[in-house]
Each structure stands twice: as C-alpha cells, then as structure tokens.
C-alpha cells in the first residue's frame, strides 16, 4: 500500500477488480478463494458499479469517492483505514470491559473473550497497515459502555457488530488500494459472522437486512458510536 500523492482520479479497487477478471482471480486467491468470492459478490451487490452498462438503480461506487467523509482520520485510503481502526479500538475495548465486568458467565464469557481477541487482531493488522503506508495512527478513544447485565451486554454486542459490518461495507466502494480492500473484506466477513451469532443469541433475525447487507456511511456510524466515547 502506498500513500496517495497524485491528484489524478483513480478507479476504486472494487471497480478495477470488477472489470479485470485476471486481477480479481489473483485477489480472491490471496484473500481466501471461494469464500472471499462470495463476499466480493456481496460487496458488489451492496456497493454497485459506475459502469455505464449497469442498471440505473445501481449505486455508483465513485459517487462518494471524494466526499472526504473520513478525512478527519487522514486522506484517501489512509483516512478509511484510520476510521476502521477507530471502530476496532472501540470494539476491542468493549469486549475487554465486558469480559472484566463480572456479568458474563460460562460460554457467553468465552465467546466474548474470543471475539475480543479477534477484534484485537484487527487492531494490530490495521495499525501495521497504516504504519507501513507512512500514516499516523488515530488516537485511541476513551470509552464507556452500559454493562449492567449479560442481556444488555449481548444486545450491545449485537448492535456494535452489526454496525461494524455495515461500516466496512459503506467504505468498500471508496477504497483505491487492493491491499486495504482485501483487509476490509476479510474483516467485514468476521464482523458479519460475529453479528449473526449475536443476533441469534438475542432472538433477532440472523440476517436482519435479508439477502444483501446494507452499508452505512461514516457520518452515521460515528454518530451512533458517539454515546460510547468519553469526550476529552
């Protein structure tokens, strides 16, 4: 991954992969083969394409490419990576505090620990990616979460994981670098799996959006997580 220094417009990585079968094949092999192919198809379905032959009902992947919705975390792909890392900081800290709350027991506690470890791995991967590109890591937010009971923790975990999955989907069409897209796709898949288990645990639909997940833009996501961040 390299920082974006030129001002020339570039297609998103999603568009390039959609148009180039050979490149797409290499990409999918690198990120997980057939399983990644299914996830890539969902990304395309949710994010659309700006190909002029596409249906008029399809959302353009370039329509939000330069809106700067993640510029507070950095420019271009670095900003998207910084935004994703901020969300992963929140998720990892949530599971750490939930596990230490004393409210979780048995298998629920073990699952919370497992999910927390996986979110911490996401943190490490994104931190390494940003450092490799010469970017600056966003500050770790100070957090507070309502951890009153096992039930409330499970409900909040489901909210957080569903939001995380839709947040990654919301940025897919804006990503220019294939390395970042690969990381986003693989993390998105894990967030969605977490969400499905938690949705079932609290008695909600496993796939609340139906056959195709609905992306959420950065402004909406950041507004939704604001109650969990302690102002400096």
CATH code of the domain covering residue 208: 1.20.1260.10
The yes-or-no verdict on residue 29 having pLDDT over 50 is yes
8-17, 29-38, 69-78, 196-205: least confidently modelled range: 29-38
pLDDT digits (tens, 9 = 90+) for 89-114: 999 999 999 999 999 999 999 999 99
Residue 42 lies in a domain: no
- The total domain count for the chain is 1
Residue 14 lies in a domain: no
Neighbours of 141 (CB within 10 A): 17
pLDDT value for 113: 98
The yes-or-no verdict on residue 42 having pLDDT over 70 is no
Contact 163, 215 (CB under 8 A): no
* pLDDT tier, 31 (very low <50, low <70, confident <90, very high otherwise): very low
The vertex-79 CA angle with 74 and 83, nearest 5°, equals: 120
Q: Which two tokens stand for residue 223?
A: 């507004």
Percent of the chain with pLDDT strictly greater than 90: 62
Residue 24 lies in a domain: no
Nearest partner of 85 among 65, 70, 68, 63, judged by Cα: 70
Residue 194 lies in a domain: yes
Residue 77 lies in a domain: yes
Residue 28 lies in a domain: no
Torsion-angle region of 159 (φ positive above 0: left; ψ -120 to 50: alpha; else: beta):
alpha
| Residue 153 belongs to domain spanning | 70-228
Residue 62 lies in a domain: no
Residue 37 lies in a domain: no
The yes-or-no verdict on residue 203 having pLDDT over 60 is yes
């Amino acid at each position: 991954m390299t920082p974006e220094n030129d001002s020339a417009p570039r297609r998103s990585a999603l568009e390039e992969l959609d148009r180039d079968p050979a490149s797409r094949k290499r990409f999918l092999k690198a990120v997980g083969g057939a399983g990644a192919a299914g996830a890539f198809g969902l990304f395309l379905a949710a994010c659309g394409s700006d190909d002029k032959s596409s249906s008029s009902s399809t959302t353009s992947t370039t329509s939000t490419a330069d809106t700067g919705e993640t510029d507070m975390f950095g420019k271009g792909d670095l900003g998207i990576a910084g935004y994703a890392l901020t969300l992963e900081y929140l998720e990892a800290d949530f599971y750490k505090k939930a596990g230490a709350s004393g409210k979780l027991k048995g298998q629920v506690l073990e699952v919370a620990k497992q999910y927390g470890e996986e979110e911490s791995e996401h943190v490490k991967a994104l931190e390494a990616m940003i450092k490799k590109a010469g970017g600056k890591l966003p500050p770790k937010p100070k957090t507070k979460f309502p951890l009153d009971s096992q039930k409330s923790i499970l409900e909040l975990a489901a909210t957080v994981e569903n939001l995380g999955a839709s947040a990654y989907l919301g940025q897919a069409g804006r990503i220019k670098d294939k390395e970042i897209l690969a990381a986003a796709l693989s993390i998105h898949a894990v967030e969605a799996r977490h969400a499905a288990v938690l949705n079932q645990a609290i008695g909600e639909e496993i796939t609340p959006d139906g056959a195709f997940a609905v992306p959420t833009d950065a402004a909406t996501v950041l507004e939704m997580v604001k109650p969990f961040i302690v102002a400096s």
